[in-house]
Amino acid sequence: MSAHDAIPVSLAEIARIAGVGRAAVSNWRRRHDSFPTRIGGTDVSPQFSLAEVEGWLRDNGKLQDIGGRELLWPRFEALGSRNESGLAVAEAARRMRSSRARIVHPELSARARDLVAEAGKVGRAEGPRETFEFLLQRWLETHVRQLSTTPPQLATLMARIALAVRLAPADGNGGSSSGSGSGLALLDPACGTGHLAAAAAQEYDGPGLELLSCERDPALAALAAGRLDFVAEGRDVRARIATADALRDDPFAGTKADIALCNPPFNERDWGYEELATDQRWTHGLPPRTEPELAWVQHVLAHLKPGGAAVVVLPPAVASRRAGRRIRGSLLRTGALRAVVSLPPGSAQPHSVSLQLWVLRTAPDGFAAPPSQDALLVDASRFARPGTREPSPDWGSLGSFVLTALATLDRVGQEPPEGAVRIPLLDLLDDEVDVTPGRYTASTTEPTRKELAAAWGDFGAMLTDLAEHAQRLSALGFEAGAPGTTTTVGDLVKAGALTLRAGQQSPESAGPARGSVVPLLSVADLLHDGTPSGLLPTDSAQAVAKEGDVVVAGVTRAFKAWVHEGPPMALGAQLYTLEVDTAKLDAHFLAGCLRAPSNGRQAGTHASSSSRVDIRRLQVLQLPLEKQTVYAETFRRLRAFETLLATADGTGKGLVRDMSDRLATGGLVG
């Protein structure tokens, strides 16, 4: 049996190859005795031989409109190693463009080299660029948990911002870093697979574009080279991709660029703090060990020409963490930090966090002081697409709003649109130097008569819903007598009905976090607004709550339990995730039992409000699964009543404030 014969494919992969739904493949399997037999997997998730499947599909006319690229990917995936499959896809890109291209990665196995040759033939027959982009996208999807990429829409927005904000030299002699005398040079010091450079090449319509990219992961760097080779084909574009750690071993030291785009690795503690302590790039101060993102900010600034612009993706905590306030202050005083944009959740990984874009610019020649004494703060977090289960920005509206706001950056007297505000530097340079847009962009305008009427209508609807919940809950009866039998979380874990995982403290020292990250929820976040404020490398997260898991806060002052909904979320210290066996436990029933205040009191280890709760001692009512659902529904209703009560309280207090302000200014009629 050849290596090709041994490659297993699932029903889902067969469906993708044939361009049909999985149900159609299952139907073929039932109706046709000649359909290949299972070679592995399970009855629920069977696997079949790729060679036999391909033969059967061809014999039965199921591959008439399907290209060979669909048959290629399972073979790349079968290489196993992320690095080898990535390097093989990159080598295939070179072979697609030229059949005589030599292998530049000698570490590839003979099997991978044969696959590269075959992929080259398919690409030249079906379109080199399209075939490469297909293989690259499949590779990214397969390794999504290990990688953090920049979505194309965000990359396009960042490129447009940088091109719009930069101050082009008046004499037109800005030139590229190569000294060609004209054109534009772009730097991306953490390029991944080249999304940002490719977007900039698409948006820039001038002559002489030079793309300077750096990536320390060899597979990603090779894939970026493959992508940018296609971008440069037939255009006045030159691409240089270096495989290096840009902070520790800058391959473009001394080179200046017109614009820089960067989506750096987040939460990376081992970024070179000790060996780079005296580096000349830190003109705004040595970045603290816990502030690697500010090292990347200063790195791109050090590479900008006068008047050059940079756009950097950053986690929201960088705007307010105490450790970075001195550097933020210097960036503001020198005019380097011109704007901060808060993005809606879902704009990039991690998708549940509202990331930020920092817009930076160096002073043009002839300016000894910053050209203005304010900074533009833009809150675009409201541009989430409504009606979607997963966070998803409305990219059209988002891009239009952000670019409109940034167009006012250098126009004295022109006010930015609502949701964006110019803040004088004197107001920002306080003890915190907090540049979080939402802190300054909250609306302070008085509500109109129509808005007040709508608010009263909403409040009345809440009261109606509250009354309905109260009526249903008050109608419930409870039997007198001995209480029901209970068990503990510890016993449920022993019985296999639960899997208990404890959260962790955010590590002060961690390895490189170039791969994907996950939002980190802490007890402090729960006491604030319940929104995760930290990030943690996915590979180092000890407890990750998935949708349907029960999360418990194991400290008396913040004791609560709930069923997690939404994307995966890492848990900090004193937080726990309980993964339930749905054949034995209803998650909402479990959360309702655990949430009982008496549980926290009984399981607390000390009398103070800061004491820990022994999760394994928490009591759970013992009921068969069918009865749990009845209790679960009542727990849900009680939870909904509690939430609605809190919402109505806030809305009512807001109405009191608004009405009081209006009354105090006169104009009462009727």
Residue 106 or residue 217, greater confidence:
217
Rounded to an integer, the average pLDDT of 498-506 is 84
Angle at 515 between CA 149 and CA 388, to 5 degrees: 50
Residue 519 or residue 318, greater confidence:
318
What is the predicted pLDDT for the residue at 99? 78
| Closest by CA position to 35, among listed 17, 55, 19, 5 | 55
| Spatial distance between the Cα atoms of 331 and 395, rounded to a whole number of angstroms | 29
What is the predicted pLDDT for the residue at 386? 61
pLDDT of 69 > 50? The answer is: yes
Residue 78 or residue 241, greater confidence:
241
- How many other CB atoms sit within 10 Å of the CB of residue 464? 10
3-state DSSP of 431-496: CCCCCCHHHCCCCCCCCCHHHHHHHHHHHHHHHHHHHHHHHHHHCCCCCCCCCCCEEEHHHHHHCC
Q: pLDDT tens-digit profile of 11-54?
A: 878 887 777 777 788 888 888 888 888 888 887 778 888 888 87
Q: Which of 60-69, 188-197, 563-572 has the lowest mean pLDDT?
A: 60-69
Q: pLDDT tens-digit profile of 98-115?
A: 877 788 888 888 888 988
pLDDT of 220 > 90? The answer is: yes
pLDDT of 57 > 80? The answer is: yes
Residue 541 or residue 513, greater confidence:
541
What is the predicted pLDDT for the residue at 3? 41
C-beta separation of 538 from 145 below 8 A: yes
pTM over cut 0.85: no
What is the predicted pLDDT for the residue at 602? 62
Q: pLDDT tens-digit profile of 223-277?
A: 999 999 999 888 899 999 999 999 999 999 999 999 999 999 988 888 999 999 9
| Closest by CA position to 624, among listed 615, 636, 632 | 632
Q: Which helix (H) or strand (E) covers residue 217, if one does? A: none
| Closest by CA position to 492, among listed 628, 584, 583, 562 | 584
What is the predicted pLDDT for the residue at 455? 87
Please give the structure tokens belonging to residue 224: 């970026």
What is the predicted pLDDT for the residue at 607? 43
Q: pLDDT tens-digit profile of 441-495?
A: 865 556 777 888 888 998 999 999 999 988 888 888 877 766 788 899 999 999 9
Rounded to an integer, the average pLDDT of 422-426 is 91
Q: Which of 506-510, 525-529, 601-605, 635-639 has the lowest mean pLDDT?
A: 506-510
Residue 55 or residue 280, greater confidence:
280
* 652 Cβ contact list (under 8 Å, min separation 6): 459
What is the predicted pLDDT for the residue at 284? 96
What is the predicted pLDDT for the residue at 308? 95
- How many other CB atoms sit within 10 Å of the CB of residue 44? 5
DSSP state of 85: H
Q: Which of 59-68, 224-233, 637-646 has the lowest mean pLDDT?
A: 59-68
| Closest by CA position to 361, among listed 346, 348, 376, 347 | 376
pLDDT band at 609 (very low <50, low <70, confident <90, very high): very low
Q: Which helix (H) or strand (E) covers residue 579, if one does? A: strand 575-580
pLDDT band at 390 (very low <50, low <70, confident <90, very high): low
% of the chain residues with pLDDT over 90: 40
- How many other CB atoms sit within 10 Å of the CB of residue 170? 11
| Spatial distance between the Cα atoms of 418 and 386, rounded to a whole number of angstroms | 20
Helix%, strand%, coil% for the chain, nearest 5: 40, 15, 40
| Spatial distance between the Cα atoms of 142 and 84, rounded to a whole number of angstroms | 14
Q: Calculate the alpha carbon distances from 550 to 498, 567, 579 in Å.
A: 10, 14, 7
Rounded to an integer, the average pLDDT of 378-389 is 76
Please give the structure tokens belonging to residue 505: 């403290």
pLDDT of 178 > 60? The answer is: no
| Closest by CA position to 536, among listed 575, 565, 569, 579 | 569
What is the predicted pLDDT for the residue at 171? 41
Residue 16 or residue 370, greater confidence:
16
What single-letter amino acid sits at 57?
Answer: L
Radius of gyration of the chain (CA): 29
Query: Mean pLDDT for the chain?
Result: 85
